[in-house]
């Protein structure tokens, strides 16, 4: 296929060529993979400035997306791509092939660094979804940091550089420029731009950015950062985001109140025990969706209200394919049982079938839909059966359908159980406050509501929904 680059794509390609160390913060759907491969093609085969390129990506993206994209476009025909995934023998065979471009999963980096030792061969490294390197204490970060002196070009790619806060970008830029712009140590960066937020005596739990510090950070990284928004460059079909309220039956409401008040619930099949705030949040979300994991390891169905609401949405789609995002494994089992026509979108074959229109109901987990998937050809209806706390996964999953190449208006529906934590999750996503402290505050609010229902906030059941592109 011939690649006719849009102006913004040409600008991004030139930016990578001209900046040996840079970050491309590109919204989903802008074509960051073909942009980067086009820059590699120019640098390696025209300018002879690059000899071997390593692409570090989420496992499925490393396995499928980069090789598929290279094979798709005529101008990339001379790029050979080796996928170093699988067991150690398979990885070794791939990396020893001498391919110009080698793709690996993120968790392979410690093994790869140890494998090569001082003979590290890659002079250009691509961090696909660089936000996965935001933890400076992770093994992948430390391993890659150890070979930085041997890397002459580093490109970071992501649409969500700071999924939680601007604290997340320090580690990414530490890899990009070696600490030149944001400092060599996280503590120095944090002390300069942030101040303690929630704390207990000397222990600080969360940090908040100082007034005006965000602009100062942007100024520091501006010379090596290119940021583009899809809304500025793409003419996408309209997106409609709606809430579908779901009324829980009386027994489920009673169970929800008991679990909130006592953090303990006795069911016929076993005991449900929420030991802390995070555990309680998880259990409340499970119950709102219809089933609970017991301490005995079984799954107890509490209600079918969301299943019934989903059935109505599928029927209303009048034969158009519907993608359903679930969160818990128990959700998947119940949905497969309730909708025999449904199929899990979990591998390359199922995703090809979805895009070909052969799957009427596709069930997808946000963690597997987060990066690099093009599913817009298969449908334009998305239903969130259970909405997760993760803003990054939420945005990325929405963008599987709402992206370049989508021909129809996209409808995103959220099944929200009334008077449950569901609404608080939506509010957190709307305000982009998806930190641990927000989760704890939400749980506190749920506890307060169950114990003192009269104090319930009038804004609890919100109908305005976010869609972040």
Higher pLDDT: 273 or 346? It is 346
Helix and strand numbers, DSSP H then E, in the chain:
20, 21
Residue 25, CA atoms < 13 Å, CB-side half-sphere = 17
Q: What pLDDT, on the 0 to 100 scale, is given for residue 273?
A: 55
* Token pair for 394: 């939420």
239-252+302-435+450-455, CATH topology level: Rossmann fold (3.40.50)
Other residues' Cβ atoms within 10 Å of the Cβ of residue 114: 10
Whole-number percent of the chain with pLDDT over 90: 50
> Quick one: pLDDT at residue 308?
92
- pLDDT the model gives residue 452: 40
Supply angle C-alpha 173, 174, 176, rounded to 5.
55
CB 101 within 8 Å of CB 81:
yes
What pLDDT, on a 0 to 100 scale, did the predictor assign at position 154?
Answer: 97
pLDDT in tens, 90-107: 999 999 999 999 999 999
In the chain the first and final C-alpha atoms are separated, in Å, by 27
What is the predicted pLDDT for the residue at 442?
A: 60
Q: Does the pLDDT at position 463 exceed 50? A: no
Is the pLDDT at 155 greater than 70? The verdict is: yes
- The answer on pLDDT for 439 being more than 70 is no
Average pLDDT, the chain: 85
Q: 198, exposed or middle or buried, with CB in 10 Å at 0-12, 13-18, 19+?
A: middle
Count of other CB atoms within 10 angstroms of residue 251? 10
What confidence category does residue 408 fall into, taking pLDDT thresholds of 50, 70 and 90?
A: confident
Model pLDDT for residues 3-43, shown as the tens digit of each residue: 989 889 999 999 999 999 999 998 766 889 999 999 999 99
In whole angstroms, give the CA distance from residue 281 to residue 439.
7
- Domain span(s) for CATH 3.40.50.300 in the chain: 239-252+302-435+450-455
Q: What is the CB neighbour count within 10 angstroms for residue 454?
A: 5
Residues 400 and 370 sit within 8 Å (Cβ to Cβ): no
Q: How far apart are CA 363 and CA 367, in angstroms?
A: 12
Look at residue 469 and tell me whether its pLDDT is greater than 50: no
- Give ranges for CATH 3.40.50.10810 in the chain: 7-233
Which one is predicted more confidently, 463 or 122?
122
- Model confidence at 290: pLDDT above 50: yes
Supply the pLDDT for residue 465: 33
The span from the CA of 292 to the CA of 321, in Å, is 28
For residue range 338-350, what is the model confidence (pLDDT) as tens digits?
999 999 998 888 9
Read off the pLDDT band of 462 (50, 70, 90).
very low
Q: What is the model's pLDDT at position 116? A: 92
User: Which pLDDT does position 270 carry in this prediction?
Assistant: 60
Q: What dihedral angle (degrees, nearest 10) is formed by the CA atoms of 58, 59, 60, 61? A: 40
pLDDT surpassing 80 at residue 274: no
Architecture of the 7-233 domain = 3-Layer(aba) Sandwich (3.40)
Phi, psi of 191 (to 5 degrees): -65, -30
Rounded to whole angstroms, how far apart are CA atoms 23 and 324? 33
Rg (CA), the chain: 23
pLDDT grade for 278, boundaries at 50, 70 and 90: low
pTM: 0.62
Predicted local distance difference test score (pLDDT) of residue 271: 55
What H or E segment, with its residue span, contains residue 155?
Answer: strand 153-158
| 379 Cβ neighbours under 8 A, 6+ residues apart | 320, 321, 322, 323, 354, 357, 362, 401
Per-residue model confidence (pLDDT) at position 466:
34
Q: Give the pLDDT of residue 458.
A: 35
DSSP labels, 405-447: T--S-EEEEEEEETTSTHHHHHHHHHTT--SHHHHHHHHHHHH
Q: Please count the residues of the chain.
A: 469
Measure the CA dihedral 322/328/333/335, to 10°. Answer: -30
């Amino acid at each position: 296929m011939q690649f006719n680059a849009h102006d913004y794509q040409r600008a991004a390609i030139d930016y990578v060529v001209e900046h040996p160390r840079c970050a491309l913060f590109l919204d989903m759907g802008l074509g960051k993979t073909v942009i980067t491969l086009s820059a590699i093609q120019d640098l390696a085969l025209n300018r002879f400035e690059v000899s071997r390129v390593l692409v570090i990506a989420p496992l499925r993206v490393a396995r499928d997306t980069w090789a598929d994209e290279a094979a798709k476009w005529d101008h990339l025909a001379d790029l050979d791509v080796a996928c170093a995934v699988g067991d150690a023998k398979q990885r070794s065979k791939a990396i020893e092939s001498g391919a110009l471009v080698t793709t690996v999963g993120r968790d392979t980096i410690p093994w790869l660094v140890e494998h090569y030792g001082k003979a590290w061969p890659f002079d250009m490294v691509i961090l696909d979804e660089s936000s996965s390197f935001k933890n400076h204490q992770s093994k992948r970060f430390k391993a890659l940091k150890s070979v930085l002196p041997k890397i002459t070009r580093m490109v970071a790619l992501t649409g969500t550089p700071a999924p939680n806060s601007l604290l997340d970008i320090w580690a990414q830029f530490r890899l990009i420029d070696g600490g030149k712009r944001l400092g060599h140590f996280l503590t120095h960066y944090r002390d300069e731009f942030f101040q303690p937020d929630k704390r207990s005596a000397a222990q600080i739990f969360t940090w908040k950015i100082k007034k005006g510090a965000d602009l100062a950070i942007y100024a520091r990284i501006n010379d090596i950062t290119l940021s583009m928004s899809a809304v500025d460059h793409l003419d996408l079909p309209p997106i409609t985001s709606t809430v579908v309220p779901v009324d829980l039956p009386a027994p489920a409401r009673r169970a929800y109140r008991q679990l909130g008040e006592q953090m303990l619930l006795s069911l016929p099949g076993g005991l449900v025990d929420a030991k802390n705030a995070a555990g309680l949040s998880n259990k409340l979300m499970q119950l709102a969706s219809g089933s609970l994991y017991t301490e005995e390891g079984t799954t107890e169905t509490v209600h079918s209200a969301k299943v019934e609401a989903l059935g109505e949405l599928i029927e209303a789609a009048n034969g158009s394919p519907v993608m359903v995002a679930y969160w818990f494994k128990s959700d998947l089992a119940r949905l497969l049982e309730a909708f025999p026509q449904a199929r899990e979108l979990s591998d390359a074959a199922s995703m090809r079938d979805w895009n070909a229109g052969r799957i009427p109901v596709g069930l997808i987990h946000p963690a597997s839909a987060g990066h690099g998937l093009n599913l817009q050809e298969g449908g334009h209806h998305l239903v969130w059966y259970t909405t997760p706390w993760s803003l990054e996964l939420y945005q990325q999953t929405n963008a599987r359908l709402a992206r370049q190449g989508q021909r129809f208006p996209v409808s995103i529906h959220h099944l929200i159980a009334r008077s449950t934590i569901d609404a608080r999750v939506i509010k957190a996503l709307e305000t982009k406050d998806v930190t641990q402290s927000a989760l704890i505050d939400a749980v506190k609010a749920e506890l307060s509501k169950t114990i003192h229902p009269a104090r319930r906030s009038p804004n609890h059941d919100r109908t305005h929904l976010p869609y972040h592109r």
